[in-house]
Amino acid sequence: MSDASYSTENERIRALEARVSSLERQLKRQKIARKNAESFLETYSQDAYLANQALRKALKDSKQRERQLLYLNRTASQLTHAKSGESYIFSALESAVEFSGAYCGKAFTVKDDELIIGNDNKVLVQGQGWVTSHTLSQFIQEETPLDLRESYSHWCVSAVIQPETDKESRLLHFMHEMSKGEYTWLVLLTKDDNLEEETLYVLDTTKHYLNITSRYQNKKTELSTRQLELSNVKKDRDFLEERLVSADKMAMLGQLAAGIAHEINNPIGYVRSNTVVAKEIFNDYQRALEEIGSLCQQAGGEIASHFMALEKRFSLKDSAAEIAEMFDESHEGIERIIEIVKALRSFSYPGSGKHSQISAIDAMNTAIKLTNNLHRYRNAVRFEVPDEDVFFSGNSGQIQQVLVNFLTNAIYATPEGKCITLKVQKSELDVSLVVEDEGEGMSKETLSKVFTPFFTTKPPGEGTGLGMSISMTIVEEHNGKIDIISAEGKGTKVSVVLPLP
């Protein structure tokens, strides 16, 4: 081999060696870069994993907080809007079961040592609502310390064996004193032994809500009671004021009536007497005129014709008939005035007369007999005679006057053929003499004026308007009262309530 060829081969070898060395250095750099990339990728992946885990945890915590907030908001809303103690107890139980994820729950209320809520076989099962389970209900009731009378600070947790699965579970319960002598327990039974401590802390808010709501409900009930009492006091005061004003008016009216009766009584007696005498004198004049007429007719001639002319000229027969009718109307009017005066005297002096023992049955029968002519051909009057007679103290004549007045009013108001019923009802303290009709009844306006003196629904000339006022005065003098129940088109029931001796 020539020197030139040898030199050329060496150069090629040196070039190849340089190339290999360059490639080795390049490969080494790539290995280092790859190693750095792998290291960076591993670090990045680890950071991404940790960030993902942190994000998952944050999301889980966020959902847990959302559940807690929803539970708190729902519980507060339900308890605030609940109308009764029982309703907000069950609302609190439903929210607690749903939030905690418990298998089931039950509520108990003990009042005056008696179980009034929870004494059944109903349990609230998650996702199923209220179901009947004697086993679960009995188990929860036995495991709950219902004889405890001290409120819990927090939910109590105990390990139990669930009867339906024979697995260990947790029983959560707490008691709250709703009011004096009334205690309520909320009880939850979990599916297994897994229970988050934070869940218990959130569930503790239920106790605070119940405490606030129960106090609110108690105050609300107390306020309603006070308002009702105040309203009743106001009604009583208004009623007493009305009665006082009415009593004053009645007293003044009584004095006025007494004065009027006294002033009218004497002159009306004169007028009555004079009217009777004047009518008798007129009758004598009329008979004398008739005899004169007969004599003139017997005489005949000019005397008879002259008498006939005079009789025709002055209408003697017609005038005599009209004057006789005037005397009758005047006498009827005077008798009417005398009747009103008697009523006024009775109204002014109701308390006269001695009291004695009165038979309720006899009083009713007498009233029926005294009004017999009014109802005999018009209405059926039925007396429901009690098994045993009732005796009370009073003035027999006055009580009879009251009963006759009420029975007369019933007959007047009851259409022909309808029935009127009389009853005697006895209680421990009093006796009620009842007159009940199937008449037209009274409107509220009429009922409000029924005891007003001179108020009457009868046509003019048929009633004085004093009967009810006199009856009220008589009954009040006997320490009794008059109750009237009436409705238009349905009839009227009047009860004279008198105290028993």
Q: Tell me if 444 is assigned to some domain.
A: yes
Whether 294 and 317 share a structural domain:
yes
Q: Tell me if 41 is assigned to some domain.
A: no
Question: What distance in Å separates the CA atoms of residue 281 and residue 352, rounded to the nearest whole number?
Answer: 40
Residue 271 CB contacts under 8 Å (≥ 6 apart), including other chains: 334
Highest mean predicted confidence (pLDDT) among 251-255, 351-355, 437-441, 451-455: 437-441
Q: Tell me if 209 is assigned to some domain.
A: no
Report yes or no: 190 and 102 within 8 Å, Cβ to Cβ. Answer: yes
Q: Is the pLDDT of residue 268 over 60?
A: yes
pTM > 0.75: yes or no: no
Whether 86 and 124 share a structural domain:
yes
DSSP assigned state of 392 = E
Whether 400 and 490 share a structural domain:
yes
Whether 357 and 482 share a structural domain:
yes
Question: Strands, DSSP E only, in 385-418?
Answer: 391-394
Q: Is the pLDDT of residue 404 over 80?
A: yes
Among 339, 334, 349, 340, CA closest to 258: 349
Q: What's the burial of 157, exposed, middle or buried (CB within 10 Å: 0-12/13-18/19+)? A: middle
Q: Which residues pair with 276 in a beta bridge?
A: none
Whether 457 and 487 share a structural domain:
yes
Tokens of 379: 């209405």
Report yes or no: 106 and 96 within 8 Å, Cβ to Cβ. Answer: no
Report yes or no: 494 and 406 within 8 Å, Cβ to Cβ. Answer: yes
Cα 146 to Cα 94, 150, 177, 187: the distances in Å are: 20, 11, 12, 11
Q: For residue 389, what pLDDT is reported? A: 92
Average pLDDT in the 418-446 region? 89
Average pLDDT in the 274-280 region? 79
Report yes or no: 186 and 169 within 8 Å, Cβ to Cβ. Answer: no
Q: Is the pLDDT of residue 27 over 50?
A: yes
| Sign, CA torsion 184/188/189/192 | negative
Tokens of 415: 């259409």
| CATH classification of the domain holding 495 | 3.30.565.10
Question: What distance in Å separates the CA atoms of residue 478 and residue 398, rounded to the nearest whole number?
Answer: 10
Question: What distance in Å separates the CA atoms of residue 275 and residue 250, rounded to the nearest whole number?
Answer: 35
Q: Is the pLDDT of residue 253 over 70?
A: no
Q: How many domains does the chain have?
A: 3
Whether 336 and 395 share a structural domain:
no
Q: Tell me if 475 is assigned to some domain.
A: yes
Question: What distance in Å separates the CA atoms of residue 3 and residue 25, rounded to the nearest whole number?
Answer: 33
Could you tell me the residue range of the domain that residue 397 belongs to? 352-499
Question: What distance in Å separates the CA atoms of residue 332 and residue 326, rounded to the nearest whole number?
Answer: 10
DSSP assigned state of 157 = E
Whether 169 and 290 share a structural domain:
no
Whether 182 and 92 share a structural domain:
yes
pLDDT band at 347 (very low <50, low <70, confident <90, very high): very low
Residue 104: how many other CB atoms lie within 10 Å: 23
Question: What distance in Å separates the CA atoms of residue 243 and residue 248, rounded to the nearest whole number?
Answer: 8
Q: For residue 497, what pLDDT is reported? A: 93
Domain stops at, among 320, 347, 374: 347
Min mean pLDDT across 87-101, 343-357, 473-487 is at 343-357
Whether 484 and 369 share a structural domain:
yes
Min mean pLDDT across 145-149, 199-203, 372-376 is at 199-203
Q: Which residues pair with 494 in a beta bridge?
A: 435, 484
Min mean pLDDT across 315-319, 325-329, 397-401 is at 315-319
